[in-house]
Structure 1
Amino acid sequence: MAINNKTTAVILVVYTVVAAINVAAELQRFDHQPTKPDGSLDILVVGDWGRRGLYNQSDVAFQMGRLGEKLDVDFIISTGDNFYEDGLSDVEDPLFDESFTKIYTADSLQKQWYSVLGNHDYRGNVLAQLNPVLKQKDSKWLCLRSFIVNSGIVEFFFVDTTPFHDNYFTEEDHEYDWRGVLPREEYLSNLLKEVEVALDESSATWKIVVGHHTIFSAGSHGNTQELVDQLLPILEAKEVDLYINGHDHCLQHISSPKSQIQFLTSGGGSKAWRDEFNQWDPNQLKFYYDGQGFMSLHIYEDKIGAIFYDVYGVILHEWSTNKFTCKDV
């Protein structure tokens, strides 16, 4: 389908109006049914990647493609900071092709990508990155502020974490596109209620929350106190299994001392921050790697696991846990 400037302009206007109206709407839900006979899922997770293939982005993409073929992955999750340094300027920005379409070219990666926004994405034209025109350009692209993906035994709750961060509203070095977010207090209040209700209503065996920002991290950015104070209590009360994020340019696994939640960071999609580490309780910090790489998730009705890989496809860390289901009783 050819997309001319007039069509693009109309879609942008309509999408802007809809986005403004739906700030307080119920989280949009997508059904992604498993294709494997046993209902299991294999998923790749990568974050902080969009640098035109530089800083080993292309190498990470190559290894993702190899593993994706081996696993026959169901879909890919992006934990945000999709386009550096300042998001997309508009839907015609060549950065979309140069950092996404032309990088993740393996046949195995031509599956649905579910993406959240990071703080660098908010420095650009947010509505462009959310615009359905991009899905017409590349059918595997899907990015929304907050939404749900239902895959039978597991539900993924994608949360827009950038507006929680106080500093972004006061810093003078960068400008952020807050269209659709202001008034901020109302936006965050509605979002927290939507997440709480969605988690409460979920009957999935596994509940996984995905956001860009860390909740807990031994990396450069460290903890995000606003999420610790506002989002984490909901996740603990609703017995979420995993919180997955990017933001810190590393691979990381932290175990919660207070609940079953595992905190997994996959932010090594391109530029890594070497030798930036904050001391952490070794009983909680199960794994930390300050280099490029990505993560895979393997989800069964009674078991879930995560594996971290480096830029060469070498396994760095593995974790799994079991859960009793009604069939086990």
Structure 2
Amino acid sequence: MRQLLITFFTVGICLSSHAQEQVTPFEYEKETGYSGKNIPGITYQDDSFNFVVVGDFGRVGDYYQRDVAREMGHATVVLDANFIVSVGDNFYPDGVQSTQDYHWISSFEEIYKDPSLYRSWYVALGNHDYRGNVQAQIDYSQVSRRWNMPDRYYSKTFELENGKKMQMLVIDTNPFIKSYHKNPEKYLQIAEQDTAAQRQWLESELAKNDPSIAWKVVVGHHPLYSGGVRKESADTKLFEQQFADLFDKYKVDAYICGHEHDLQIIKPAGRYTTQYLSGAGSEVRQSGEREGTIFAATEPGFMTFSIVNNQLTVHVVKADPKGAAVLYKHNTNK
């Protein structure tokens, strides 16, 4: 009888211990039949808030687009990501004509097919999108469950696990690029956009007195800084002059952008805001460094963002025909 009680007690401990084991989102999906792969170097954290960022992607699956899309799907499973962000240039070379344009199928629906990518995408406009029908991209929000672009610029607030919030403001940077106004036939309706109204909206959103907002994120297409092809571009320098001080004033934690077709993290000396440039969703161009460069790579890929309590962790992920690899991990502590 005593031996039987000992046996029951031992089995009970084993079962209790097994029940308390943490199963990651990836392990759970694999157990239930998911066919995707893990990405070594990305670790899921309990109670984390996660999202994936890609940019400059819409090339009918060519260049590295399919490779990046495949590994984005894997990363979204690994992190159980809440959503995906696109920083613009969603369709090359000239945007889309309508919600029925075949580009929606060939460059979006048929490329981002991992089941994990069928969740909300929050989308910004790039300069190539302005060469087509911008309203069609806004209207596609009513066609697709996952495509979210309610307007040319918009805000979204997310609840975090600790009762705090992340404020995300998606801006339309194109009208602020002065050189585009010299070519209105190429950048359609660019002159009609009210930059003063958008800037006023942005300031009013950032100035909201909400103590529950722990993290402020701004998403746009054009970079404040670059060590890449546009390092000395007048457009880049003028954009920095228009927004860098504003972001610092309101303590924007992360400015997420693209336009350059590479992967960069930059925080110049004396600045509050860190810029994360993720524009390597398909075509790749030469990257480089400048003052404040934390990381730069001439590689196809994307970035993942994870918030746990007072820490933001960003993984820079390379994606090519061989698979995925984490190139760099960056932490910001509040």
Give the TM-score taking structure 2 as reference length.
0.79
Question: Aligned to 1:53, which of 58, 61, 65?
Answer: 61
Cα pair 1:240 1:261 within 8 Å, conserved: yes
- Structure 1: unaligned runs, 5 residues or longer: 1-35, 324-329
Cα pair 2:181 2:191 within 8 Å, conserved: no
Give the TM-score taking structure 1 as reference length.
0.80
Cα pair 1:148 1:155 within 8 Å, conserved: yes
Cα deviation for residue 168 of structure 1 reads 0.9
Alignment of 1:5-44 (within 5 A): 40-44=48-52
Are 2:308 and 1:296 equivalent residues in the alignment? no
Are 2:328 and 1:317 equivalent residues in the alignment? yes
Q: Which amino acid aligns with 2:325?
A: V
1:205 match: secondary structure: strand
CA distance in 2, matches of 1:146, 1:40: 27
1:99 corresponds to which residue?
Answer: 107
Residues 159-192 of structure 1: per-residue CA shift (max 9 Å, x gap): 10011001111148x61111xx5445xx111111
1:155 corresponds to which residue?
Answer: 167
Cα deviation for residue 305 of structure 1 reads 1.1
Alignment of 1:67-216 (within 5 A): 67-131=75-139, 134-143=140-149, 144-152=151-159, 153-171=165-183, 175-178=186-189, 182-184=191-193, 187-201=194-208, 203=210, 204-216=213-225
Cα deviation for residue 39 of structure 1 reads 5.5
CA distance in 1, matches of 2:77, 2:192: 44
Cα deviation for residue 138 of structure 1 reads 2.4
CA distance in 2, matches of 1:253, 1:298: 16
Cα deviation for residue 135 of structure 1 reads 3.1
When structure 1 is superposed on structure 2, of 114-123 and 193-202 the one drifting more is 193-202
- Structure 2: unaligned runs, 5 residues or longer: 1-43, 160-164
Cα deviation for residue 301 of structure 1 reads 2.5
Cα pair 2:58 2:108 within 8 Å, conserved: yes
Are 2:282 and 1:270 equivalent residues in the alignment? yes
Number of aligned pairs? 277
CA distance in 2, matches of 1:194, 1:301: 28
Identity over aligned pairs, percent = 34
Question: Aligned to 2:227, which of 202, 212, 218?
Answer: 218
Q: Which amino acid aligns with 1:287?
A: F
Are 2:266 and 1:258 equivalent residues in the alignment? no
1:243 corresponds to which residue?
Answer: 255
Structure-2 change in CA distance of 1:111 and 1:216 (3 Å)? same
CA distance in 2, matches of 1:77, 1:229: 25
CA distance in 2, matches of 1:202, 1:114: 24
CA distance in 2, matches of 1:276, 1:70: 28
Cα pair 2:262 2:287 within 8 Å, conserved: no
1:17 corresponds to which residue?
Answer: none
CA distance in 2, matches of 1:150, 1:164: 25
Cα pair 2:313 2:332 within 8 Å, conserved: yes
Structure-2 change in CA distance of 1:170 and 1:156 (3 Å)? same
CA distance in 1, matches of 2:332, 2:176: 31
Larger radius of gyration: 2
2:128 match: secondary structure: helix
CA distance in 2, matches of 1:215, 1:238: 16
CA distance in 2, matches of 1:37, 1:202: 30
Q: Which amino acid aligns with 1:95?
A: H
CA distance in 2, matches of 1:263, 1:196: 18
Q: CA RMSD in A?
A: 1.9
Cα pair 1:307 1:319 within 8 Å, conserved: yes
